[in-house]
Amino acid sequence: MAERKRVLVTGASKGIGRALLDRLSADGYSVVGLARSRPDGLSEGQTFHACDLTDFETTRSLIQRLAAEQPFYGLVNNAAMAPIKSIDDTTIDDMQAAVQLNLNASLICTQAVLPGMRKLGAGRIVNLSSRAALGKINRGAYSATKAGIVGISRTWALELARDQITVNVVAPGPTATELFNMASRPGEDPRTTALLASIPVGRIGKPEEIAHAIAFLLDPRAGYMTGQTLYVDGGLTVGNVYL
């Protein structure tokens, strides 16, 4: 029996990452999750390793060891953090913390899987950005790093195209995850209330819907799409929403 394609997902303990573990294992992938805390209820085809992704040397060593056992065909850089501060209150430490997890950890994980992808002769990398990359009040550090994800992904797409490794971005809008609820305080913050009311489809997104978009970009048949950003946001980016 042919070996199942292997995909690495960061930030896999909850939210979009947890939904993605279930989606990809149902699609027949062998899925490895990384996050600080272990999720409950892992099923067949899912393995998990507790890891602080901002400990770069440990992260690199772990992924290299796993890739030596079997190369990764796919990587989803999903882990992120979102400081909630105005421009007046944002500190250099806030910026550095966001850069460390949202950008630098993605670089470390990507570098660690590339030798195996090149050996396979194909690969899929999906990086998670956000609609907040277009601007969102009190999210300066988060917006900056999520915009950075788009830029770095376009560059990586160019660098890796000849290796048949695609690099694309999924940028979710408001989605019912723990991170969104913590950062936006639905029902409390009037800006969040106004934002949710402005979603053209009339509802907040589900983690499973974001996982579906990621799964599309991981598919072997998606090899002609690279360097692109796919907004999954209920139509928010169709019009001008300044909230």
The pair of three-digit structure tokens given for residue 66, joined into one six-digit string: 């796993």
* Residue 52 C-alpha from the chain's centroid: 16
Closest CA to 230 of 152, 158, 173: 173
Distance in Å from the first CA to the final CA of the chain: 52
Instruction: Give phi and psi for 107, each to the nearest 5.
Output: -65, -45
Nearest to 80 by CA among 32, 37, 173, 16: 16
Residue (of 30, 28, 31) closest to 17 by Cα position: 31
Q: Which of 142, 224, 231, 242 is catalytic?
A: 142
H or E element in which residue 212 lies: helix 207-218
Known active-site residue 142: yes
Q: Name the phi and psi angles at 23, rounded to 5.
A: -65, -45
Give me the active site residues, please: 142
